[in-house]
Amino acid sequence: MAASSRREKLVEEAQKLVLRGQFDKAAKTYEQILALEPSAINLRQKFAELLIRCGRIDDARKELELIGGHFSKNCFYLKAIAVYKQLQKLFPADISLSMTLAGLNEKHGLVANALSEYKLVFDYYEKIGDITDALGVLERMQAVDPLNISIQIKLAEAYATRGKKDLSFELFAKAAALLLERGDNITFVRTCSRVSQIFPDKPGIMLDVLSGLISQGKAAAATGGIQHLLSENPHNKRAWDLIVAAYQQLEQPQRVRIACQHYLKFFPSEPAAIIGLITSAAAEHNSPEALELLDRYEDSLISSGHAAQLEQIYHTLAALAPVNARVMEGLTRFAAATGTVEAPGFAAPVAVHPPETASAPVSFATEEPLEQPHQEEEIEIDLEIDFDPPFGPADQTTDTASVHADWLDSVGNLFDTIDTAPRSVKFGSEMEGSDAQVHYDLGQAFKEMGLFDEAINEFRQASQDPSRRVECLILQCACVRDRGDVEKANAMLLALLQPGLGDEEICAVKYELATGYEAAGKNNEANILLNEIHEANPGFRDIHSRLNATKLHDSIEFSADDLKDF
């Protein structure tokens, strides 16, 4: 009890010394207090602030690190981040503080903040030529945000430099696939160009990635890249196979047909293109065209070992025109060749997807004549290639050094804009409530520590959540005021008072604006606002006590006339 009483007296004495500006004496008093109660974190924070005022920066660091370690150990990560941010301001050249902050942000799920701190560390190691530690930081960043393409590319480059070729190639391939899925064909091409420089023995990465996307059912993401390859080199046979496969997966028979027609211009006897052309005609219910193509190519397809695909096509046509003589002849021929005993007319029909332009159900023919061919319409597809004039691959005389320089610039720009789409911080779009809450809480912690710039940044990010947008804007104004720019803060608050705000939001803006007016010495304006709040919502915050305090202050103010006879 005696110790508690002595502590209280010492705290009271220290507060008086602070008010007098005797910071050195106050600091010595806090040393006595902490000797009595070492675990009093709140008192240790005040002691650290006093040490900073006294210019005892190194001593302040010891105290702040004790405080930060306490918060981190007990999983109070936001408070720990605020403490280490204060340390970072005191010791900006100490890169270990950025590493600690990165880890704390990572633990609390603040991905963008963690990456920002990690990048500071990476830049430092890269600047001093410490490749090993720089690589370790990149690996940490990759673990924090596995879908960040710029980090993947930077890490892949680093692996290649260190001789880890397999890991490098794997990361490049992942980055290329993500670029295609996001529709960034330009960077995809640059990535593949860079890979061809690093791995001259693996020229097919582009095709491998595109093929992988199609096999994963992501044909829509692959078509742009395939079209680019064909525009550069229409003699790339594997690319033609992929574009046909992609359109088949997307169930776009018209595009399959057109792609196969162009395919045959460069590879006139390619069975895959011929079969694709016939199959697409059947899928579009264009039996006359399909049969015409069969008459032209059937023998060559059989001799090249594609009888099974032909039989499938005939079954498809039989479903469209079951009593067509030409179709039945084909089925009979294949039944005899394969030893099938059932009558071809009763073969199980193969399901056919209706063409994109079909507007009526298929009617089965009852007469022998073939159905009339439909008028072929002009369609616009994404194959932006001039197929008529013969041409070879793109000019290969581009300066390699120039390409490499452009590539490094591109990667640098990507890396400097860490965080794309979908993460903890979402710029320009609505943020999930849990993410916004984290940034809001961190902003409050920074504000309490007097780190107003950091607080403003966190409130700005939390304001992406529409449900707390106004509140976060108000808090940013409060931070601007607390760091000394009262007039600017008041002007910003006045700008917030626009039609469309809710009653509670209007009261909140006026309440903060009244505080700003008081700070600027405009007490009359502040009183008007406080009374307006009371009239609109008498239970708003501590409006009663604030009004009473104002009235008390006014009651002891004397005018010059009051003081004449005093």
Range of the domain at 3: 1-92
Tell me which residue has tokens 């001039």: 386
pLDDT score for 337: 61
Query: pLDDT tens digits for the chain (566 residues)?
Result: 456 678 888 888 888 888 888 889 988 998 888 888 888 888 898 899 899 989 999 999 999 999 999 999 999 998 999 999 999 999 999 999 999 999 999 998 888 889 989 999 999 998 999 989 999 999 999 999 998 888 999 899 889 888 898 899 889 888 888 888 887 877 887 888 888 888 887 767 778 888 888 888 988 888 888 887 788 788 888 889 999 999 989 988 888 888 888 888 899 888 888 888 888 888 888 888 888 888 888 888 887 887 787 778 878 888 877 767 777 877 777 766 655 544 444 333 333 343 343 333 333 233 333 344 444 443 344 444 444 333 333 344 445 445 444 443 443 443 444 333 333 333 233 445 567 788 888 888 888 777 888 888 888 888 888 888 888 888 998 898 888 888 888 888 888 777 677 888 888 989 988 998 888 888 888 888 888 888 888 888 888 777 766 554 443 343 445 434 43
- Domain end, chosen from 74, 92, 110, is at 92
Q: What residue type is 253 in one-letter code? A: P
Predicted model pTM: 0.56
Residue 486 within any structural domain of the chain: yes
The number of domains in the chain is 2
Alpha-carbon span 15 to 75, nearest angstrom: 31
Alpha-carbon span 52 to 374, nearest angstrom: 86
Question: Helices (H), strands (E): how many in the chain?
Answer: 27, 0
pLDDT score for 552: 42
Tell me the DSSP string of 99-151: HHHHHHHHHTT-HHHHHHHHHHHHHHHHHHT-HHHHHHHHHHHHHH-TT-HHH
Alpha-carbon span 177 to 183, nearest angstrom: 10
Residue 508 within any structural domain of the chain: yes
Alpha-carbon span 323 to 344, nearest angstrom: 10
**Closest among 489, 468, 469, 490 to 480, alpha carbons compared:** 489
Residue 76 within any structural domain of the chain: yes
Alpha-carbon span 521 to 486, nearest angstrom: 11
Is residue 95 a contact partner of residue 124, using CB atoms and an 8 Å limit?
A: yes
Residue 564 within any structural domain of the chain: no
Q: How many CB atoms lie within 10 A of CB 364?
A: 10
pLDDT score for 80: 93
Is residue 487 a contact partner of residue 520, using CB atoms and an 8 Å limit?
A: yes
Is residue 51 a contact partner of residue 21, using CB atoms and an 8 Å limit?
A: no
Residue 2 within any structural domain of the chain: yes
- Domain end, chosen from 55, 71, 92, is at 92
Alpha-carbon span 226 to 138, nearest angstrom: 31
Domain CATH for 504? 1.25.40.10
For 378, phi and psi rounded to 5 degrees? Answer: -75, 125
Is residue 323 a contact partner of residue 366, using CB atoms and an 8 Å limit?
A: yes
Residue 308 within any structural domain of the chain: no
Alpha-carbon span 47 to 59, nearest angstrom: 10
Residue 196 within any structural domain of the chain: no
Residue 530 within any structural domain of the chain: yes
The encoded tokens of residue 382 equal: 């994404």
pLDDT score for 94: 94
- Domain end, chosen from 92, 125, 154, is at 92
Is residue 257 a contact partner of residue 244, using CB atoms and an 8 Å limit?
A: no
Tell me which residue has tokens 């059947």: 282
Q: In the 3-class helix/strand/coil scheme, how is 25-71 assigned residue by residue?
A: HHHHHHHHHHHHCCCCHHHHHHHHHHHHHCCCHHHHHHHHHHHHHHH
Is residue 173 a contact partner of residue 150, using CB atoms and an 8 Å limit?
A: no
